[in-house]
Structure 1
Amino acid sequence: MGRPPRLLFFKKGVVDLELTPANQLIESLAAELGELLHPNTVEDAKLVQKGLMLYRQGMVTQLHIGDDSVTATVQDVTPAKVRLDLNFLSVSECSCPTDDLCRHQLAVFFSAYARSGVGSVGDWVTEWREPIREQKAVAGWGMQAAKDLIKANGVLMPEYSRWVHSFEVSFDTLLASKKYTSPYVIPELFAIYERRIHASAPVKQEWRLLYELVGIVVSFRKLAVLSEQLGHNEDVVKRAYLHLFQNMMDDAEELVGKIGVQTTPFAFDEFIEKLKDDAFELLTAANGVEYERIYLYRLLWVHFFKKKPWREEELEKIRLRGKELQDWENPVPLAVARIHLNILQQNDELALKIMAQITDDLFTAYMVFWIDYLSQLKAWKRVGPLIELFLQKVKGYLEHLGGYHSCAAFTRNALRAVTPYCVENDRVDLFERALLVMLPYSFADYEYLLFERGQYDRWGELQALVGFDYYDLPKDRVKVIEKERPEVLLAMLHQTAQREIDQKNRASYRMAVRHLKKLRTIYKKLKRVDDWQYFMETLLERTRRLRAFHEECKRSKLIET
């Protein structure tokens, strides 16, 4: 099916515009630039302003819009030739010295945007600047005092449906009343929303805590749904307001702890049961912020919804909802919930069976929660099989995750989770297997383990595996190994010296000679002088055309003159 015609709205009526492939790409580029450039960043604001000025002064000439690119010349101090790639903005080119996105490329974009008829340049700029105006408006709203909010809402007496209605109305009024809301003003709007609901909280401490927990569950769901409705992708959410979800997770964890240690009124039961039903929507109401939604759901079921009949009813609800899943819906949240409840019910065999059947690599991240949970219970017999399955799956997850820093952070968290079991049960072998399977991200921990255990041969192999040169090694480690097992350093010194020789310049030859002298010292210490002489004769023969290298060897007395 083709894309339907786009309707352009003008003051005097409506115009049909059939978007060509190039126009569609220009429209996508407009959206991409709107996300890439931030009006609150001084550099980005200046860049847009300069590009707009060049465009409005008519400095863009020889404009040509092709199927997947736009070319033009921009008459600046020095004429700049520009090619905009409509598929991949990052490979666009400009003849000016700037390496990144420049004012000439923006000027050409504005010119192409206007000529294609996709939209008005003025409207694009106005929409792009929307966050600044919204923030000013938000600042004004934020000045309303808490006492005014209380007057507006009134303090809500304990009634679950009334609480939820109040949260939803306040949220929709402040955050969901516009067709478009910039992601960068959502934190400020959300802060006003939170002040409003706190102002209406019950006075009694025990009810206030429950009120705040209900508010978190409702707010979490509403924000996740709004994010999806506004079309904010994962990167945008992460940059602009992911911290709001994380703050709510932290607050919920604190609240369930406080509620758990206080004496609760009998009337709480009805509220908790209704909250349980609302918590189910965390799994299915939206597709974004999946990890955060599932974390909050599991937290509530561990600490708050503890009745066995409730858990059995929830399993049945999950089973029925799973049958209704559409092809476009993500099955992982329901699968995680099903596993979670079976673990809470101590049905570990079924839980592990379900885990083993899931092929989605991203699922592996959820296993760390259960390893932590069972370790805190000191249920060591239950933790072991879970860690074994985790280690079978974690390599695929790390490959899927990508990005060194993300993988390293996850590895640290995973190793922290498996450590209590390995220590308690004297399973150094299992811990070492975890380190091996998560290389190279576990390198620092594995290197430390091997060195402390005196396994210097394996320590040297690990250094070579991750590609370290001799001069990358920690000097304190090298001193110990030179004394205890100097032969461990031989292979690395050979490799490092050869890499320097391969650079074929005078400075690298000098470095190579330094490593060769160290090699000679170790060979003599090991009483393998014949091996050293044979190696050196072979090396000199192989490099006989590298006169500068031979000169450095003579200067350092590696070669007899």
Structure 2
Amino acid sequence: MNSVPSLFLHKYSDYLLEQLDPHQAEDLQKVEDGFSLYREGMVQDLYVEKNFVMSSVFDGKKFDCLFHTHLFSLNTCNCNQRLCQHMMASFFAMYSETGNAETWINEWKLHHNFEDKASPKTVVSNSKKAEIDLYKQWIDLTDHLFEKEILSNKSMPPYLLNLHGLVLLKKLMNHYDAGYEFRKLFQIVVNVRLLEKLLDWFISSRYSYQEIEDMCKQLVEAIQTNIETETNHLPNPLPFSYDPICEKLRGNVRELLFLQGAFDHVVLQIYRLLWQNLFHQKKLRKEELAFAEKTAAKSDTKSSWRVAYSFQLLISGQVNDAVSVIESSGPEHSIYILDYMDYFAKKNDWNSVKRLAHSFVQHVKTYMEQADNPWRFINYVDSIFEQVSEHTLSFDLQEQVLVEMLPYSRKRLANFYFERKNINGC
């Protein structure tokens, strides 16, 4: 989509402020219905061509809107109304590229001295309060769509949940009300909240966790990919305006671990990713370390909180303690040592990677037994140990891990010996 001309958007906004009167029930309904369509992601195919802006809005069926950038009297919708909810939904989608649609609605009501006690005010002088309110709007949006798309059908089987969830997710990812500054953070928040709602649904489902993981894998992996993509493209350094939202999000991320059952490994990967790349504030990390320690102490060895505590120790610099906690949690959790190695590899801390590698080699046979795809597992392990060899000029650990992964690693081990022979000139 080409950018909507800012001059058109400014003038059309002023035009709507004058044309629509919130004291008129019909006008108020058009604005509210348009905002609801926009929030639910029903505006699609919005694009600019010469002096026109065109859009499609799905409201039971497809409606096409045409906006003239200079002569607003030429604006049309094939619902045959002069100014309708479909045009308002399209306007909010355009306006949200640079602003906040709900803020526009509040300004419109203020412009006409209209008091609506049922509507929360988003225009406040305290910016921190505004950002926390913004977070609540994102959560409420996700909950509203989940209620509409999922919970309204109480007997929905997991394979249908997967399909409906993917539709819901697309609506959330196409939602632009957050504005440019908060767009990536908005997408992280709604994906985390959607995962939280799904995990809660899984726990109360009559289906087994294995059945759920088999049938809802596509949906949960899409959520994980969205969070990874947006987290990896966050601005650096993070704006201070993110701080109050991150503090609220921290609570929802914690809740993911309490909803242990299906997709535990995905949840822990998301937890690690967000604490590694988003939650940088010293205050939050100190509080989370204390919380994770207390929660892990009250949990059994298979609890996800044991892994979370281990990772909090790791990012606080207590590497040996982190490894001790993860190893004491049983072989099913020791696999995360490989992720820790990757964490330090990205920081070019190869001494820490090497320390962790020794521990990993001791347990690698157990990991092989648990791997869904041994060949993919070997490739991933070997790629990390190959980096260790290159950066430390020591090849012993790479050889050891390949030997431990026999017979699956037979071909890779043969290549390793062949390459070492050529390098050493033997």
Letter in 2 for 1:298: R
Q: CA 1:396–1:257 in 2, change beyond 3 Å: closer, same or farther?
A: closer
1:245 to 192, 199, 220: 220
Letter in 2 for 1:338: Y
Aligned-pair RMSD on alpha carbons?
3.0
2:262 to 288, 301, 312: 288
- Displacement of 1:367: 1.6
2:122 aligns to what? Answer: none
- Displacement of 1:354: 1.5
2:400 aligns to what? Answer: 433
Q: CA 1:380–1:149 in 2, change beyond 3 Å: closer, same or farther?
A: farther
Deviations 1:207-250, CA, capped at 9 Å, x for gaps: 22221110011011112222232244344334322122222222
Q: CA 1:333–1:143 in 2, change beyond 3 Å: closer, same or farther?
A: farther
Q: CA 1:428–1:244 in 2, change beyond 3 Å: closer, same or farther?
A: same
Q: Give identity over the alignment, percent.
A: 21
2:141 aligns to what? Answer: 166
Letter in 2 for 1:216: N
1:177 to 132, 148, 152: 152
- TM-score w.r.t. the length of structure 2 is 0.65
Rounded Cα–Cα distance in structure 1 between residues aligned with 2:278 and 2:87:
31
Rounded Cα–Cα distance in structure 2 between residues aligned with 1:252 and 1:246:
10
Deviations 1:373-431, CA, capped at 9 Å, x for gaps: 101111111111111001111112223x16xx622222221222222112211221111
8 Å CA contact 1:407–1:441 kept in 2: the answer is yes
8 Å CA contact 1:150–1:199 kept in 2: the answer is no
Letter in 2 for 1:267: S
What stretches of structure 2 of length at least 5 have no aligned partner?
Answer: 1-57, 64-84, 94-100, 104-130
1:278 to 223, 231, 252: 252
1:421 to 379, 384, 388: 388
Query: Which residues in structure 2 correspond to 1:251-266 (within 5 Å)?
Result: 251-261=226-236, 264=239, 266=240
2:337 to 354, 361, 367: 367
2:365 aligns to what? Answer: 395
8 Å CA contact 1:156–1:163 kept in 2: the answer is no
Q: CA 1:452–1:225 in 2, change beyond 3 Å: closer, same or farther?
A: same
1:377 to 347, 353, 368: 347
- Displacement of 1:196: 3.6
Q: CA 1:312–1:261 in 2, change beyond 3 Å: closer, same or farther?
A: closer
SS of the equivalent of 1:178 reads coil
Rounded Cα–Cα distance in structure 1 between residues aligned with 2:162 and 2:236:
32
8 Å CA contact 1:234–1:288 kept in 2: the answer is yes
Deviations 1:315-339, CA, capped at 9 Å, x for gaps: 11112323444x6xx7431111111
Rounded Cα–Cα distance in structure 1 between residues aligned with 2:61 and 2:260:
32
8 Å CA contact 2:213–2:263 kept in 1: the answer is no
SS of the equivalent of 2:233 reads helix
SS of the equivalent of 2:158 reads coil
- Displacement of 1:176: 2.1
- Displacement of 1:271: 0.7
Letter in 1 for 2:395: V
Q: CA 1:383–1:172 in 2, change beyond 3 Å: closer, same or farther?
A: same
8 Å CA contact 1:412–1:442 kept in 2: the answer is no
1:194 aligns with 2:169: yes
- TM-score w.r.t. the length of structure 1 is 0.50
- Displacement of 1:160: 1.2
Rounded Cα–Cα distance in structure 2 between residues aligned with 1:343 and 1:166:
35
8 Å CA contact 1:201–1:211 kept in 2: the answer is no
8 Å CA contact 1:149–1:199 kept in 2: the answer is no
SS of the equivalent of 2:373 reads helix
- Displacement of 1:262: 7.1
Q: CA 1:286–1:142 in 2, change beyond 3 Å: closer, same or farther?
A: farther
Is 293-302 or 422-431 further displaced after alignment? 422-431
8 Å CA contact 1:156–1:201 kept in 2: the answer is no
Letter in 2 for 1:257: N
2:310 aligns to what? Answer: 339
Q: CA 1:149–1:387 in 2, change beyond 3 Å: closer, same or farther?
A: farther
Letter in 2 for 1:388: H
Q: CA 1:293–1:281 in 2, change beyond 3 Å: closer, same or farther?
A: same
Query: Which residues in structure 2 correspond to 1:307-322 (within 5 Å)?
Result: 307-322=281-296
Structure number with the bigger relative contact order (C-alpha 8 A, sep ≥ 6) is 2
Rounded Cα–Cα distance in structure 2 between residues aligned with 1:142 and 1:238:
33
8 Å CA contact 1:142–1:192 kept in 2: the answer is no
8 Å CA contact 2:158–2:215 kept in 1: the answer is yes
Deviations 1:253-300, CA, capped at 9 Å, x for gaps: 221232223763x43211111111211112112311011000001000
Query: Which residues in structure 2 correspond to 1:191-230 (within 5 Å)?
Result: 191-198=166-173, 200-202=175-177, 204-230=179-205
- Displacement of 1:363: 1.1
8 Å CA contact 2:292–2:309 kept in 1: the answer is yes
- Displacement of 1:192: 2.8
SS of the equivalent of 2:234 reads helix
Query: Which residues in structure 2 correspond to 1:394-543 (within 5 Å)?
Result: 394-399=364-369, 401=370, 406-454=373-421
8 Å CA contact 1:411–1:442 kept in 2: the answer is yes
8 Å CA contact 1:435–1:446 kept in 2: the answer is yes
8 Å CA contact 1:290–1:333 kept in 2: the answer is yes
8 Å CA contact 2:327–2:334 kept in 1: the answer is no
Rounded Cα–Cα distance in structure 1 between residues aligned with 2:382 and 2:141:
44
Letter in 1 for 2:416: L
Rounded Cα–Cα distance in structure 1 between residues aligned with 2:331 and 2:87:
47
Letter in 2 for 1:448: N
Larger Rg over CA atoms: 1
Is 330-339 or 193-202 further displaced after alignment? 193-202
8 Å CA contact 2:341–2:356 kept in 1: the answer is yes
